[in-house]
Structure 1
Amino acid sequence: MATPDLDPRTGARRAPDGAGSRPVALVTGAESGIGRACAVALAEAGFDLALTWHDPDHDPARTAREVQNAGARTVLRRLDVTDVAALAPAVDEIADELGRLDALVNVAGTGTSTPLLDLDLARWREVIATDLDGPFVLLQAAARRMVAGGRGGRVLNVTSVHEHAPRVGAAPYCAAKGGLGLLTQVAALELAEHGITVNAVAPGEIATPMTGQEDEDPHAAHRPGVPLGRPGDAREVAAVVAFLCGPSATYVTGASWAVDGGMLRMGPMAGSHLTSDDWRTP
């Protein structure tokens, strides 16, 4: 039985009279891949959506159409998460337009495949700004709106298996994702008294534009170094995000959920780059 003052879809406190009846989620990087899948999953779970995008090579209107087809109100806004001065005002404007803010899903990110000794400071700063600075400012601004709204809320930071394990050539990416993972834990402690849960979702190799696999069927690819034998589908990540934003996860906070086909369990046996199944034989 639902608690009378809680929204049965999100576990958040119900809105005061006059506020929108549907909870609102803000998803960054919503134009493709994991961001698009998260937006659609949240719309299907009963959220209205604020969708931010940046990459001009992808059509954010596709995501907006899919979200609207699921019955959600939608706000679409271009946003560069490295422009930190613009982020808090954007959060406030979005929350004002949709009437509330109940969830933030930090998806937008970038990476590198450059050896440490060849890495220049400008590229380091670009990755850190995108993958850590931007999510921090967005988290802070969203949490302030949630506290002011008095309904609690959800924050989901999409990190990576490289929140937990290093990878050659990915120094700034690993540093940023590791930092975002610990930021998630600190925020979970500090925001708990306001009814705000903060969790991370840590994908492994997912078939998305970022991995060069846009619109490819991950079930058709063979990955010997992944225990489940294939890359993941963005919708498999989105399903975990939607769960953590929903009413069944009201007692989950400060956790990092690996969605990686078991890759992290490989430990020193490595992961997605292996070319044979020899590791399966003792």
Structure 2
Amino acid sequence: MNFEGEFKGKAVVVTGAAGLYGKRLAATFAREGARLCLTDTDPAALDATLAEIAPPEGSFAHAADLTDDASMAALVTAVGTRFGAADVLLNNAGVYPSGFLLDIDVAEWDRIMGINLRAPFVLSTGLAKQMIAQGTKGAIINISSGAARKMRRTVVPYCTSKTALERLTKGLALELAEFGIRVNALEPGFSAGSSVSQLADEHVRRVTAAVPLGRASTAEDIGPAALYLASSAAAYITGATLTVDGGNSIGSLDVYQDKKHPL
């Protein structure tokens, strides 16, 4: 799809920008000429990301702790100071820790919910207020997961947070519609290295083999999908979830991998 310079000069905020998906999303919008605000916890990693993707002039990095209200408020202020208002917010930051519910304490539960759910609420409402003040009909995209619809052992808090994030997406879409601000969710597919946790090679092979389209997600999958949701081509889409996972959410091949059609 050709967006014909639609994002040239637009202001785009990407959280979790130093991670795998964050870099892919940032690079995609940078190629379209968007000015970027990249945020993550590590200033050095953010600077490296900026240097790697070389976004247009006016882009900047702002380190922020998404578990800290003052830090998030400073991020919102920085966006307002530099951009006036964002045109697009990509709530991409997330954590995927593993552990049985019986072993997870309340502090860890709160940390997961804080980053995966509370931060998107705080940033979406904070930046939406700037959009409204500036008359910007912006777009907010929450990066979700197939875990929103299918519970997984040892990552129940993550699944719960993503289910709630998709409900929050609908709620924000409903209440921000009168201001022309659209809010949607995007579910990317499995990609090795997308988690802060190291994944064993055998696990990666097994998960990838179960994907109906037979491969993991790449930068060419999530980036264009995000551009679409943020573009005028999706002007009548809000409160929706776009799944870009190679068919993994509709069913996997892991049980019947040995059963092939004779053709």
Question: Offset of 1:96 from its aligned partner?
Answer: 1.1
Matched, 1:64 2:44: no
Question: Counterpart in 1 of 2:190?
Answer: 205
Question: Counterpart in 1 of 2:168?
Answer: 183
- 1:280 and 1:264 map into 2 onto residues whose CA distance is 20
Question: Counterpart in 1 of 2:258?
Answer: 278
- 2:207 and 2:71 map into 1 onto residues whose CA distance is 42
Paired AA for residue 184 in structure 1? T
Question: Counterpart in 2 of 1:143?
Answer: 128
Q: What secondary structure does 1:223 align onto?
A: helix
Assess if the C-alpha contact under 8 Å between 2:15 and 2:22 holds in 1. Answer: yes
Assess if the C-alpha contact under 8 Å between 2:85 and 2:127 holds in 1. Answer: no
Q: Indicate how the Cα distance of structure 1 residues 186 and 280 shifts in structure 2: closer, same or farther if over 3 A, else same.
A: farther
Assess if the C-alpha contact under 8 Å between 1:47 and 1:72 holds in 2. Answer: no
Matches within 5 A, 1:236-275: 236-266=221-251, 270=252, 274=254
Q: Indicate how the Cα distance of structure 1 residues 101 and 138 shifts in structure 2: closer, same or farther if over 3 A, else same.
A: same
- 2:208 and 2:33 map into 1 onto residues whose CA distance is 35
- 2:239 and 2:178 map into 1 onto residues whose CA distance is 13
Question: Offset of 1:28 from its aligned partner?
Answer: 0.5
- 2:33 and 2:83 map into 1 onto residues whose CA distance is 14
**Count of aligned pairs between the two proteins:** 256
Matched, 1:35 2:22: yes
Matched, 1:105 2:85: no
Q: Indicate how the Cα distance of structure 1 residues 47 and 108 shifts in structure 2: closer, same or farther if over 3 A, else same.
A: same
- 2:185 and 2:259 map into 1 onto residues whose CA distance is 29
Percent of aligned positions that are identical: 34
How large is the RMSD of aligned CA atoms in angstroms? 2.8
Q: What secondary structure does 2:249 align onto?
A: helix
Q: Indicate how the Cα distance of structure 1 residues 150 and 112 shifts in structure 2: closer, same or farther if over 3 A, else same.
A: same
Question: Offset of 1:166 from its aligned partner?
Answer: 1.1
Matches within 5 A, 1:35-184: 35-55=22-42, 59-68=45-54, 70-184=55-169
Question: Offset of 1:157 from its aligned partner?
Answer: 0.4
Paired AA for residue 100 in structure 2? P
Assess if the C-alpha contact under 8 Å between 1:46 and 1:72 holds in 2. Answer: no
The 4+ residue runs of structure 1 with deviation greater than 4 A are 211-214, 279-282
Question: Offset of 1:94 from its aligned partner?
Answer: 1.9
- 2:153 and 2:99 map into 1 onto residues whose CA distance is 8
Normalised to the residue count of structure 1, the TM-score between the two structures is 0.82
Which range is displaced more, 254-263 or 114-123? 114-123
Question: Offset of 1:151 from its aligned partner?
Answer: 2.0
Assess if the C-alpha contact under 8 Å between 1:203 and 1:259 holds in 2. Answer: yes
Q: Could you list the runs of 5+ residues in structure 1 that have no partner in the other structure?
A: 1-6, 11-20
- 2:114 and 2:196 map into 1 onto residues whose CA distance is 20
Question: Offset of 1:280 from its aligned partner?
Answer: 5.2
Q: Indicate how the Cα distance of structure 1 residues 95 and 110 shifts in structure 2: closer, same or farther if over 3 A, else same.
A: same
Normalised to the residue count of structure 2, the TM-score between the two structures is 0.87
Q: What secondary structure does 2:208 align onto?
A: coil
Paired AA for residue 102 in structure 1? D
Question: Offset of 1:55 from its aligned partner?
Answer: 4.3
